[in-house]
Amino acid sequence: HKKLVIYLVCSRVVTEKREEEKEKITMSNSRFCQLKQYGGPSKLHVTNIGKPSIVGDDEILIRIKAASINSADWRIMRADPFLIRLMFGLRSPSKLPKGGIGADIAGVVEATSSNVKQFKAGDAVYGDLSSCGFGGFADYVVVSETAALANKPSSISFEEAASLPMASLTALEAIKDVAKVSDGDQVVIHGAGGGVGSMAVQIAKAYGGHVTAVCNTKKVQKMKDIGADIVVDYTKEDFTKMDQKFDVIIDCGAYHSVWKMRKALKPTGHYVVIGGTFRNLLRSMFYSPFLSHKGGQTISVIENKPTRAGLDAVRDLVESDKLKPVIDKKFSLDHVVDAMTFFEEGKPTGKVIVTMTKDDE
């Protein structure tokens, strides 16, 4: 019996030491996706760096479990529009705060500074890093307690949670705060098949809207699955030429002119632009103050403003079963080039997820 006890104790000690060594290797080989030059997906390079450290008195160290790709990541990578170069560097993205892209994350708080009150080690969180330097395509990230970070919805996985922040926050702002969708409103989501669009369909429904989703043929069934009342395939029909007029148009594509969209609005309707070509976005911003008037049609152009309060609202929608993540495909961080290529080719019918699982795990 003594020999058996000694054997078990020794085995446990060896196992614990192996786990400690494995953790040390993991920490010293923390991966980070760098973007040193503008261009295509091949410009993304996953490198091993030291585990980041907390240095400020209000910082949080997060071990990232999953991230997702957004148009913002692609635009920075491609420097499209040119304004990106003015923000992050003319010849290279040398001014990109953390040196890499990736806004949407989900993970676990590993450590906090002594002054942090909102979070503690072990908390499952999700957030949008676009307002604090990006850098989400990595094993670890350090952010301020004031970042757009919140407790993860408990009813979904880390991969599902990572698909939500930027898209759902943008859709929530457009529908709840700007258009103020309410019971019975006739709402069009133009570009419903994308990341923001699929969130907008569900959020508009949650706020009582009767939703018409406009998308391409391959995404029609998915729009029906997430609750759209009517689905219009834009390859077969132009919704702006329909007899019906709408209270709200949420435009996630901005590929039609403002004038064309206005024709589909009711006299007091609201046209909200949240994405699309840079040229059409500028046009919408220019015409907005001239074409919006009290008691008549309103035109608004919004940008993503991530907040903890918004993430809390999104979590409530998820946990009340009114908002479901829409995911197409998952890639490991080691294959982030393939993930971005897939995204760039316009193939996704949902969000593209980057998991932090290693190829040898």
Q: What is the DSSP string of 62-76?
A: EEEEEEE--HHHHHH
Lowest mean pLDDT segment, chosen from 37-46, 177-186, 251-260: 251-260
**pLDDT band at 254, cuts 50/70/90?**
low
Tell me the percentage of the chain whose pLDDT exceeds 90: 74
- Main-chain phi, psi angles of 16, to 5 degrees: -65, -40
Please report the pLDDT score of residue 277 as a whole number.
61
- Main-chain phi, psi angles of 240, to 5 degrees: -70, -15
- State pLDDT tens for residues 198-222: 999 999 999 999 999 999 999 999 9
User: Which one, of 85, 104, 82, lies nearest residue 95 by Cα?
Assistant: 85
The CA distance from 230 to 175, in Å, is 18
More confidently predicted of 265 and 5: 265
Q: In this structure, how many other beta carbons lie within 10 angstroms of the beta carbon of residue 113?
A: 16
Contact of 76 with 84, CB cutoff 8 Å: yes
Lowest mean pLDDT segment, chosen from 160-169, 257-266, 289-298: 289-298
Task: Give the list of residues 6+ apart from residue 289 with CB closer than 8 angstroms, or none.
Answer: none
Token pair belonging to 175: 């529908």
User: Which one, of 231, 236, 181, lies nearest residue 203 by Cα?
Assistant: 181
The CA distance from 295 to 150, in Å, is 38
Q: What average pLDDT does the segment 279-283 reach?
A: 64
CA 349 to chain centre: 15
**The residue type at 250:** I
Q: Give the DSSP letter of residue 335.
A: G
Residue 107, pLDDT above cutoff 50? yes
What are the residue ranges of helices labelled H in 232-335?
258-262, 278-291, 308-319
Tokens 């499209």 belong to 80
More confidently predicted of 290 and 87: 87
* Per-residue buried b or exposed e for 272-300, using 16+ beta carbons within 10 Å of the residue's own CB: bbbbbeeebbebbeebbeebeeeeebbbb
More confidently predicted of 19 and 142: 142
Please report the pLDDT score of residue 14 as a whole number.
46
What element of type H or E holds 342? helix 336-344
Q: Which residues are bridge partners to 248 per DSSP?
A: 187, 270
Q: In this structure, how many other beta carbons lie within 10 angstroms of the beta carbon of residue 76?
A: 24
The answer to whether the bond into 289 is cis (omega within 30° of 0) is no
**Averaged pLDDT of the chain:** 89
Tokens 């035109």 belong to 299
* Per-residue buried b or exposed e for 143-167, using 16+ beta carbons within 10 Å of the residue's own CB: bebebbbbbbbeebbbbbbbbbbbb
